[in-house]
Structure 1
Amino acid sequence: MSFTKKDLDQIKRKGLTVQDVESQIELFKNGIPFTNIAEAATINNGITALDDNLIREATEHFEAHRNEKKLIKFVPASGAATRMFKFLFQFIKEYNPQNESINSYINKNKLRDMSLFLVGLEKLPFYDLVLDHLKSKHIDFSTLSNSEKIWHFAQAMLDENGLNYGNSPKGLLPFHRYRSSHISTAFEEHLYEAALYASVNNKAELHFTISERFKDKFDEEFKRIEEYVESGTGVSFNISFSYQQESTDTIAVTIKDEPFRESDNSLLFRPSGHGALLKNLNALDADIIFVKNIDNVVVKYYKEEVAKYKQVLAGILLKLQAKTFEFLHFLDANNPKEVDFKAIEDFLSEEMSIKISSEYKKYTDYYKIEYLREKLNRPIRICGMVKNEGEPGGGPFWVKNKYSNQSLQIVESAQINLKDKKQKELLKNATHFNPVDLVCGVKNYKGEKFDLEKYVDRNAAFITMKTKTGKDLKALELPGLWNGSMAFWNTIFVEVPIITFNPVKTVNDLLKAPHQIK
Structure 2
Amino acid sequence: MLSNDLEKQIEAQGMPLGTVEEQIKNFKNGFPFLDIDYAAKIGDGILELSDAELQKAVDVYSEKSKDKIIVKFVPASGAASRMFKNLFGFLEKVDSNLDNDEFTKTFISEIKSFAFYEDLDDSLKKAGSSISKAIEEKKYGLIIQHLLDDEHLSYGSLPKGLLKFHKYEEGSRTPVEEHFVEGAQYGVGKDNTVRLHFTVSPEHQNRFEKKVAEVQPKMEKEFGVKFEISFSQQKKSTDTIAVDLDNKPFIEDNGEVLFRPAGHGALLENLNEIEADLVFIKNIDNVVPDRLKDTTTTYKQAIGGLLIDAQDKTFAALSQLDNKISPEVVNQAEEVFTKVIGGKLAPSYASKNLEEKAAWLKQKLNRPMRVCGMVENTGEPGGGPFWVKDADNSLSLQIGETAQLNLDDETQKSHFKSSTHFNPTDLVCGIRDYKGKSFNLMEYRDPKTGFITQKSKSGRDLKAQELPGLWNGSMADWNSIFVVVPLITFNPVKTINDLLRDVHQ
**TM norm. shorter chain > 0.5:** yes
Work out whether 1:45 is the aligned partner of 2:35: no
Calculate the aligned-residue CA RMSD, in Å.
1.5
CA contact (8 A) 1:331 1:339 kept: no
Question: Which residue in 2 is equivalent to 1:61?
Answer: 60
Work out whether 1:487 is the aligned partner of 2:476: yes
Question: Which residue in 1 is equivalent to 2:322?
Answer: 332
Runs of 4+ in 1 over 4 A off after TM superposition: none
Which one-letter code corresponds to 1:250 in the other structure? T
Question: Which residue in 1 is equivalent to 2:493?
Answer: 504
Which one-letter code corresponds to 2:98 in the other structure? I
Question: Which residue in 2 is equivalent to 1:185?
Answer: 174
CA contact (8 A) 1:102 1:147 kept: no
Question: Which residue in 2 is equivalent to 1:11?
Answer: 10
| Alignment of structure 1 residues 383-394 onto 2, 5 Å | 383-394=372-383
Q: Aligned match of 2:415 in 426, 433, 447?
A: 426
C-alpha separation in 2, matches of 1:73 and 1:337: 40
Residue 345 to residue 79, structure 1, CA distance change in 2 (3 Å): same
Q: Please state how far the C-alpha of 1:427 moved relative to its aligned partner.
A: 1.1
Question: Which residue in 1 is equivalent to 2:363?
Answer: 374
Question: Which residue in 1 is equivalent to 2:245?
Answer: 255
CA contact (8 A) 1:102 1:146 kept: no
Q: Please state how far the C-alpha of 1:145 moved relative to its aligned partner.
A: 4.4
C-alpha separation in 1, matches of 2:137 and 2:277: 55
Q: Please state how far the C-alpha of 1:338 moved relative to its aligned partner.
A: 5.0
Q: Aligned match of 1:102 in 84, 90, 98?
A: 98
C-alpha separation in 2, matches of 1:332 and 1:144: 74
C-alpha separation in 1, matches of 2:381 and 2:106: 21
Q: Please state how far the C-alpha of 1:62 moved relative to its aligned partner.
A: 1.0
| Alignment of structure 1 residues 14-33 onto 2, 5 Å | 14-33=13-32
Q: Aligned match of 1:466 in 455, 473, 496?
A: 455
Which one-letter code corresponds to 2:296 in the other structure? V
Q: Please state how far the C-alpha of 1:86 moved relative to its aligned partner.
A: 1.0
C-alpha separation in 2, matches of 1:401 and 1:3: 38
SS in 1 for 2:256: coil
Q: How far does the alpha carbon of each residue in 1:8-59 deviate from its partner, in whole angstroms, 9 at most, with x for none? A: 2222222211111111111111111111222211110100001111111111
SS in 2 for 1:189: helix
Work out whether 1:208 is the aligned partner of 2:198: yes
Which one-letter code corresponds to 1:70 in the other structure? I
The TM-score with structure 2 as length reference comes to: 0.97
C-alpha separation in 2, matches of 1:271 and 1:163: 27
Unmatched 5+ stretches in structure 1? none
Question: Which residue in 2 is equivalent to 1:82?
Answer: 81
C-alpha separation in 1, matches of 2:42 and 2:94: 49
C-alpha separation in 2, matches of 1:119 and 1:9: 55
C-alpha separation in 1, matches of 2:316 and 2:133: 72
Question: Which residue in 2 is equivalent to 1:198?
Answer: 187
C-alpha separation in 2, matches of 1:418 and 1:91: 36
Q: Please state how far the C-alpha of 1:3 moved relative to its aligned partner.
A: 2.4
Residue 327 to residue 263, structure 1, CA distance change in 2 (3 Å): same
Q: Between the two proteins, what is the percent identity of the paired residues?
A: 46
Which one-letter code corresponds to 1:317 in the other structure? L
Work out whether 1:91 is the aligned partner of 2:90: yes
Q: Please state how far the C-alpha of 1:147 moved relative to its aligned partner.
A: 6.9
Work out whether 1:319 is the aligned partner of 2:315: no
Q: Please state how far the C-alpha of 1:179 moved relative to its aligned partner.
A: 1.7
Question: Which residue in 2 is equivalent to 1:239?
Answer: 229
Residue 325 to residue 219, structure 1, CA distance change in 2 (3 Å): same
Question: Which residue in 2 is equivalent to 1:449?
Answer: 438
Residue 29 to residue 117, structure 1, CA distance change in 2 (3 Å): same
Which one-letter code corresponds to 1:474 in the other structure? K
C-alpha separation in 2, matches of 1:257 and 1:37: 29
Moved more, 450-459 or 406-415: 406-415
SS in 1 for 2:138: helix
Question: Which residue in 2 is equivalent to 1:310?
Answer: 300
Q: Please state how far the C-alpha of 1:114 moved relative to its aligned partner.
A: 3.1
The TM-score with structure 1 as length reference comes to: 0.94
Q: Please state how far the C-alpha of 1:149 moved relative to its aligned partner.
A: 4.5
CA contact (8 A) 2:134 2:140 kept: no
Moved more, 43-52 or 158-167: 158-167
Question: Which residue in 1 is equivalent to 2:288?
Answer: 298
Q: Aligned match of 1:151 in 124, 129, 141?
A: 141
Question: Which residue in 2 is equivalent to 1:2?
Answer: 2
SS in 1 for 2:245: coil
Unmatched 5+ stretches in structure 2? none
